[in-house]
Structure 1
Amino acid sequence: MILPAIGWREAQQCWRLVDELGFAHAWTYDHIAWRDLIGRPWYAAVPTLAAAAQCTRRIQLGTLVASPNFRHPVPFAKEALTLSEISGGRFVLGLGAGGSGVDAEVLGSPPWSPAERRERFVEFVEVVDQLLREPCTTYAGRFYSARRAWIDPDGGARARMPVMIAGSGPTGMRLAARHGDGWVTHGVAAQRGRVAPEATPETVRRQLDAVARICAEEGRDPATLRKLVLNVNRTHSPLASVGAFTETVERYARIGVTDLIVPFPRSEAPYQGDVRVLEQIAADVLPALTED
């Protein structure tokens, strides 16, 4: 997870490094502004990923996550398709409901209630999924509409980009079972929107049990769904050492997690760390994980 919080001259070195080190995928947050860095440099996700696609060769690139907070599904689906094309099919679309922070009010509307946020998320995912599956889409919903939206004239001819749905509750889990190639969690926060979330194997195991139940209800084999954990824990960081990373990987693998995402080490908070640990992980740990 590479924060879009530094200028591109420096940032491109981060993207190149994780590609060269052999990591499977690299992501960035999709916000107008982000809680920890309000008033500090912060850049847009889509052009950042387009630039990252040009300076990398093999790594998958994605949003974790894009939300309805300031996006409409029609132009965003077109942007996602374009990112997939620019990256040579390496783009992964991560979608989430979004939070109640700065992004929720940036367009001038009052913040949505929790119920409206859930309903908008459901409709947003449904429309995006349809836009990416069909050459031309017309859709009339409560919150979003599309009329003769030519997103992908080759729809159905090319492989659909992977879609990862984030959600710690039943709404996101059900959307992942219906529309996703994977489900994403970052654990839970003691105070939503005010305290950074933390993931633990115990919490994630309970969430995975819920995902399995919902998949069964939806007629989806849970084994066909990737399970991604975004571990951005401020305490007990998985990048504290190679040993901490190895232990974290093993604990999550035992409960059925398929992908672990960690923050790229920064020179300052948040996610302050030593990039040499990341390099040592790539040298000592990644080869064995690739063989598995």
Structure 2
Amino acid sequence: MLNIMPTTGEKMRVGVRILPSENWKIAQHTWRLADQMGFDHAWTYDHVAWRERMRQTWFSAIPTLTAAAAITQKIGLGTLVSSPNFRHPVPFSKEIVTLDDLSSGRFMLGLGAGSGGADAEVLGSKPWSATERSERFDEFVELTEKLLRTAVTDYSGQYYRAVQASADPDGQARTRVPIAVAATGPRGMRTAARHADIWVTNGYSPKPGLIAPNATPALVKDQINKLARICEEEERDPLDIGKLVHLTQGHAILKSLGTFVSVANEYRDMGVTDLVIPFPHKTSGAHEQLKVLEQIATAVLPQQAPTT
């Protein structure tokens, strides 16, 4: 049965992840197609360089999303995810607000703690310990939220500071930019419970930054239960935070339309509100995967459209 509507009446949103690895003359067609297909959101990675694609074509996330905003109409656009590795909340928040304006409010900010590798080393700083990375991320999210939610921000933390910082060029707070926090451990989940509109998981990686993470329904269900307990400790209703599953190794879900519906229903039934799958790239089987994606757009996405 082609149905991915939760019993609560909330419709699970479906999005795609598009790699920033093509010249814009080619890439623009992918972003436009995702919009025309009716996907709820489209995301790209925010890295200086990325694992096996080191020394290969790889573009910057924010200019890519800015260009995508100019050629799309309805689809949400976001980073999945931006990290403290090479960004500071003050100048970054200005870019966020600008992109939100250019996209007419369609921007969604995905944040993550980041990991080792090129992003962490390119600026020449010493590698951060796991503790420092967690502490930095907590401050990074806290300050970013303040910058986006208040007109003028003063902040003095252990790692970040802001003095009379105003992210919005109009001097107003923009409450509409959704913040999606990626977290699979307890400390990151607590950060999400405190600050996020949406919690994000991509599963688990034994070596973050070096080995791609993988998500399974059993793993995600356990993570959602842990998040619920932390939300209750933070006096936040677990149902008040969205749950986004990013299937970084999700090409298998595009084996067939039936496979997609089966997997999507399993995630929906455990309370997942958003599912993000990879847009077929230049890999073996990409042509067949694109056909399945087109079937999803035709047979599934219309069910997700808001009722009037």
User: TM-score scaled to structure 2, two decimals?
Assistant: 0.90
Aligned-residue offset at 1:159: 3.6
Aligned-residue offset at 1:270: 11
- 1:97-112 aligned within 5 A: 97-112=113-128
Q: Distance in 1 between matches of 2:158 and 2:148?
A: 20
Percent identity (aligned): 52
| 1:170-194, Cα deviation, whole Å (9 max, x unpaired) | 1221111111100000000133333
**Residue of structure 1 equivalent to 2:11:** none
What is the count of residue pairs matched by the alignment? 290
**Residue of structure 2 equivalent to 1:260:** 275
Query: Residue 83 of structure 1 is aligned with which of 99, 117, 133?
Result: 99
Q: Distance in 2 between matches of 1:237 and 1:291?
A: 28
Query: Residue 249 of structure 2 is aligned with which of 230, 233, 237?
Result: 233
Instruction: Return closer, same or farther for 1:273/1:36 CA change in 2, 3 Å cut-off.
Output: farther
Contact 1:164 1:183 in 2 (8 A): yes
Aligned-residue offset at 1:139: 1.1
Query: Residue 191 of structure 1 is aligned with which of 170, 186, 207?
Result: 207
Query: Residue 143 of structure 1 is aligned with which of 141, 159, 163?
Result: 159
Which stretch of the first structure deviates more once superposed, 181-190 or 260-269?
260-269
RMSD over equivalenced CA pairs, Å: 1.7
- Partner AA of 1:254 in structure 2: D
Contact 1:30 1:66 in 2 (8 A): yes
Aligned-residue offset at 1:272: 8.2
Contact 2:152 2:171 in 1 (8 A): no
**Residue of structure 2 equivalent to 1:113:** 129
**Residue of structure 2 equivalent to 1:155:** 172
**Residue of structure 2 equivalent to 1:244:** 259
Aligned-residue offset at 1:97: 0.1
**Residue of structure 1 equivalent to 2:108:** 92
- Per the alignment, in what secondary structure is the counterpart of residue 252 of structure 2? coil
| 1:186-230, Cα deviation, whole Å (9 max, x unpaired) | 000133333211100000000000110011011111111110000
Aligned-residue offset at 1:291: 6.3
Q: Distance in 1 between matches of 2:230 and 2:196?
A: 13
User: TM-score scaled to structure 1, two decimals?
Assistant: 0.95
Gaps of at least 5 residues in structure 1 are none
Contact 1:266 1:273 in 2 (8 A): no
Q: 2:27 aligned with 1:11, yes or no?
A: yes
Aligned-residue offset at 1:276: 1.7
Contact 1:232 1:271 in 2 (8 A): no
| 1:28-56, Cα deviation, whole Å (9 max, x unpaired) | 00000000201100000000000000000
